[in-house]
Structure 1
Amino acid sequence: MSPRKSVAESRLTRQRILDTGLVIASAEGLEGLTIGRLAAELGMSKAGVIGHFGTKESLQLAVVDTAVELFVREVPERARGVARGLPYLRAACEAWISYLEREPLPGGCFFTAAAAEFDGREGPVRDAIARADETWRRELRVTIWRAVSLAELPPDTDIDQLLYEIVAIMLALNHFLQLHRDREAPKRARRALERLF
């Protein structure tokens, strides 16, 4: 086997581990993600999985990064090209609803579950989850500010309050979809956002 093929195969194996790990973690939490569970799921040895990550914490951090990549592909990238300000805010929120509605992960929104699992803890995994959340909230905050500055939203709009309410709607949507299997929840979320905008 050539070294180039070996490196490519190693990357593919690592990605398979991460994709499987993300699916497991979305439904069972990052703590439910073990080297042994992944090895069994993928038909690999524990040493084979450990060889790619070294520690469970490194694996968890890599899964968080994989979840970020999925969210970026599914939400902000789907709104790219839309005019900044209120049109982008609407498009991003619609992409976010669509993402939750299509349920690309069996446990719903990875970050909602991971935040609930790690919010009372300290350490690198909690920090990575918080950083990903803050990055997305910062993008939304800037978008709301731009919509206000372009007079697409009222000049007295409380930017942080509007951001809070958007996030609250999305958390409620995930809750109703996952816990109650409420197929009407996306319509309610869209109506709630329309009232805000």
Structure 2
Amino acid sequence: MEGERDITLRAALAGYFADNGFGADGGYGDAWVDFSLGPLPFPFPNTEGRKRAVRFHDLHHLVTGYPTDTVGELTISAWEIGAGCGDFYAAWVINLSGMGLGALVAPSRVFRAFVRGRGSRTFYGEVYEEVLEERVADARAARVRDRAPTLGDRALFAAGAAVGCAVATVFAAAALPLLPLGLFNLWRKRRATMPAGVL
């Protein structure tokens, strides 16, 4: 990131929201959020547990550099599981699901992120407003560490991915009935952006 020696996480976060079309508050106040699996939007409630975790999750995108596309989200899920989510239970559930799915669709990338996470530490449990004043480069240097994988990492990844696949299956079963709502909302958003007279 250009100028990250000088830019704070607060300023970088505003740019991240704008670049990703998340709105001024990152969508934190929304009642529902969409998780897109490729072109398919799966809406799910923006629970208090998710709201508590997603603020820190977005900061992790800034310090790790993982994108917000589908594979990027699966990758950062593995990084967060590797580094640990503390008492952020919604993060554990969502990230285990992402890591399990990621182990199926991008196994090498997701495993590398998990190992990177094992040598890193997250923002979970820190004082959010204080963290926002840190410089991006300083926050990255203090929290993100690359290291070589160990046999223990491989075993933990395999176990975590297996648990994650089970959690993802339950998650998918709960989300599948909401797919029509997601498709309807996608159609409505696209229709709203069409020029008048075009249908």
- TM, length-normalised to structure 2: 0.26
Between structures 1 and 2, the one with greater helix share: 1
Query: Relative to total residues, which structure has the larger strand share, 1 or 2?
Result: 2
Larger radius of gyration: 1
When the two structures are superposed, what TM-score results if normalisation uses the length of structure 1?
A: 0.27
